[in-house]
Amino acid sequence: MTTANEAQREYWNRDDARHWVDQQARYDEMLEPFGAAMLDAAGITSGEHVLDVGCGNGVTTRSAARSTVDGRALGVDLSEAMLERARALALKEGVANVSFDADDAQTRQFTPEFDVAISRFGVMFFDDPAAAFANIRSGLRPGGRGAFIVWQALPANEWMAVPGAAILEYVDPPDGDPTAPGPYALADPDRVRSIFDTAGFRDLSIDAFTAPMLVGGRGTLDDATTFMRNSGIARAMLDDKPANLQERAIAAVREALKPHLTDEGVQLGGATWLVTATSS
Ligand SMILES: C[S@@+](CC[C@H](N)C(=O)[O-])C[C@H]1O[C@@H](n2cnc3c(N)ncnc32)[C@H](O)[C@@H]1O
């Protein structure tokens, strides 16, 4: 694999990928409304060939494969561990028209064979987003479609802002460029517009899609707290801190989540952009 995103490749092959693999069912439950909205926008029909960018454990790739029936779906991702899980689940669920490749979507050599490119939160990690989307577009046949879902800015996302504010009572906020590769890199619609224009897409739409989400999937307050504690962002903020400070910060997260506990689990709002476009 040649990769332009070496730091991301390393990141998604270390502990964070482990959390995504170990907690795959919880992530899929939590993110389900967003994958469903993205797949709805993609409008996949029978016989189409689908590319899922940054497919992770592959739930959206398998859904796409089911929708296309006589077509096929390919998931591309940097994370070997998540792809292994994706392949195992496809086998278990009997989805045969699906395959998964370890590769960098920014540099993979595509041929224009796909009718649709999709992604659920897998396209915010490129070091050169315009080059990456141009490369993804090179995999689309003329007139092919793209449907990508990305996070709006962190303050609009209660599910991160609420526990995040609790942690910030104990540690300094992480500094850095908000447009750097990471979950919120495509939060600014003007930036998305410019990236997609440069990448050669047309008919661009950027629509807000918000939904309540179950933090860490269905479960108890403690399940949600543990899930958030072990997420990449909390680990980055807390792991190097003294144990007693970590404990107090996590107790504060639990308290902050408590008012949002429902019969199903801790429920907080998620805010995304649903980005659709066609290949010129
Ligand atoms: C937030 S996870 C989302 C995974 C999956 N789409 C889901 O919704 O469960 C982001 C994924 O993007 C992948 N990724 C990041 N940069 C990538 C790149 N340049 N090429 C391919 N995959 C990438 C990561 O390895 C990770 O699996």
CATH architecture of 6-153+178-214+270-279: 3-Layer(aba) Sandwich (3.40)
Determine whether 205 is exposed, middle or buried from the number of CB atoms within 10 Å of its CB (0-12, 13-18, 19+): exposed
Give the closest residue (by CA) to ligand 1 atom 24. 54
Alpha carbon distance 186, 50 (integer Å): 22
3-state secondary structure of 267: strand
Distance of CA 134 from the midpoint of ligand 1 (Å): 17
Q: Read out DSSP for 181-245?
A: SSTTTT--HHHHHHHHHHTTEEEEEEEEEEEEEETTSSS-HHHHHHHHHTSHHHHHHHTTS-HHH
From first to last of the 280 residues of the chain, give the pLDDT tens digit. 666 789 899 989 986 688 999 999 999 999 999 999 999 999 999 999 999 999 999 999 999 999 998 999 999 999 999 999 999 999 999 999 999 999 999 999 999 999 999 999 999 999 999 999 999 999 999 999 999 999 999 999 999 999 999 999 999 887 788 899 999 999 999 999 999 999 999 999 999 999 999 999 999 999 999 999 998 888 889 999 999 999 999 999 999 999 999 999 999 999 999 999 999 7
Q: Which residues pair with 116 in a beta bridge?
A: 50, 145
272 lines ligand 1 (CB under 6 A): no
User: Using a 6 Å cutoff on CB, does residue 184 contact ligand 1?
Assistant: no
Pocket flag, ligand 1, residue 27 (CB < 6 Å): yes
Contact residues for 156 (Cβ-Cβ < 8 A; gap 6+): 271
Q: What is the CA radius of gyration of the chain?
A: 18
Q: Which residues contact 271 (CB under 8 A, 6 or more apart)?
A: 151, 152, 156, 157, 208, 209, 210
- Sign, CA dihedral 253-257-263-268, equals negative
Longest CA–CA separation in the chain, Å:
58
pLDDT computed for residue 2 by the predictor: 64
The alpha carbon of 189 and the centre of ligand 1 are apart by a number of angstroms equal to 20
Ligand 1 touching residue 106 (CB < 6 A): yes
Domain ranges (residues) in the chain: 6-153+178-214+270-279
Check if 8 has its Cβ closer than 6 Å to any atom of ligand 1: yes
107 Cα nearest atom in ligand 1: 19
pLDDT value of residue 59:
98
Nearest CA to ligand 1 atom 19: 104
DSSP string, 129-197: HHHHHHHHHHTEEEEEEEEEEEE--GGG-HHHHHHHHHHTTTSPPPPS-TTSSSTTTT--HHHHHHHHH
Whole-model pTM: value is 0.96
Task: Give the three-state DSSP class for 67.
Answer: helix
For ligand 1, the distance from its centroid to the CA atom of residue 206, given in whole angstroms, is 20
pLDDT of residue 1: 63
Ligand 1, atom 16, lies closest to the CA of: 125
Atom of ligand 1 nearest to the CA of 104: 20
